[in-house]
Amino acid sequence: MTQKHRHSAVVEESSAGFGDAIVAAAPDAIIVAGSDGTIVEFNPMAEHIFGRARADVVGTDLFDALTLATHRNSHRTDLSRLWSADSARFIGRTFPAIAMRGDGRPFAVEVSANVVPTERNLVVLFVRDRSTNGPNPSIPEPDSPADDDAAVWGSREMLAIIMRSAPGIVFAVDLSGVIQVSTGSGLAALGFQPGQLVGTNVFEIYKDMPEVAEYHRRALRGEEFRAQVDIGDRSLETLYRPIFSASGRLVGTVGVSDDITV
């Protein structure tokens, strides 16, 4: 293997690892389902919010598993609209809804959906808990991927689908400040395409915005926090979260930004 090929392999492996970290760090439940409603992926935050284990829901019907019986028909209609001629009215927008926890309790959520017109016709749902009664306390807050997450999330095709479908912006930065992942539909409002900033350095990008550069330094020192970032005419609420290796070594940071511009 040439030095160039070895470098490409290292970069590809690193990017996949950052993708795993983004999915695990996501503040939203991420659920991927087929167009018929069959669940194919269910991330750690989805397990926490819904109080359901991934192994118990993958392969089952989305609506039977996660919604109240009285709401299922209307939700099935909503899903079909994502594939209709007027789907642009629904894709990428956030809607309030009522979901069901594993113990049968209803709770308020916000849902954003995107579709991936592949052979499997996948739907990617980003679900945020907006209730006051909280998730099932028996399901632990995910702070690192489980031992078998590499197998679950090792599909780079699935990671790419999820990250492209994100309603905001997701990014990952290594310890040198070099962007390894930059994706999400929210990039368009800033004038960027997914992947366009990969390979650039955040400290160079934000050299004239010392406050934003300091946020990255804090995250790269191992701090987790939220901050509002104003870029141009857009206001972004960003979660910064450090990435640690299995041995506990700090290797970089991931971020998830929501556009809160009013």
Each residue's pLDDT tens digit, 162-220: 666 666 888 889 899 999 888 888 888 888 888 889 899 999 999 999 999 999 999 99
DSSP string, 197-224: TTTSBHHHHTTT-HHHHHHHHHHHTT--
Reply yes or no on whether the pLDDT at 59 is more than 80.
yes
DSSP string, 14-25: HHHHHHHHHHHH
pTM, entire model: 0.57
Amino acid of residue 247: S
**For residue 178, with 0-12 CB atoms within 10 Å meaning exposed, 13-18 middle and 19 or more buried, which class applies?**
middle
Give the highest mean pLDDT range of 15-19, 90-94, 110-114, 199-203.
Answer: 199-203
Q: How confident is the model at residue 86, as a pLDDT?
A: 67
CA distances from 229 to 108, 188, 240 (A): 27, 16, 11
3-state secondary structure (DSSP) of residue 150 = helix
pLDDT band at 157 (very low <50, low <70, confident <90, very high): low
The residue extents of the domains of the chain are: 3-129, 168-259
The domain 3-129 is placed in CATH, from the list 3.50.50.60, 1.10.10.10, 3.40.190.10, 3.30.450.20, at 3.30.450.20
**For residue 3, with 0-12 CB atoms within 10 Å meaning exposed, 13-18 middle and 19 or more buried, which class applies?**
exposed
Which residues sit opposite 234 in a β-bridge?
A: 231
The domain 168-259 is placed in CATH, from the list 1.10.645.10, 3.30.450.20, 3.40.50.970, 3.30.360.10, at 3.30.450.20
On the question of a common fold for 3-129 and 168-259, the answer reads yes
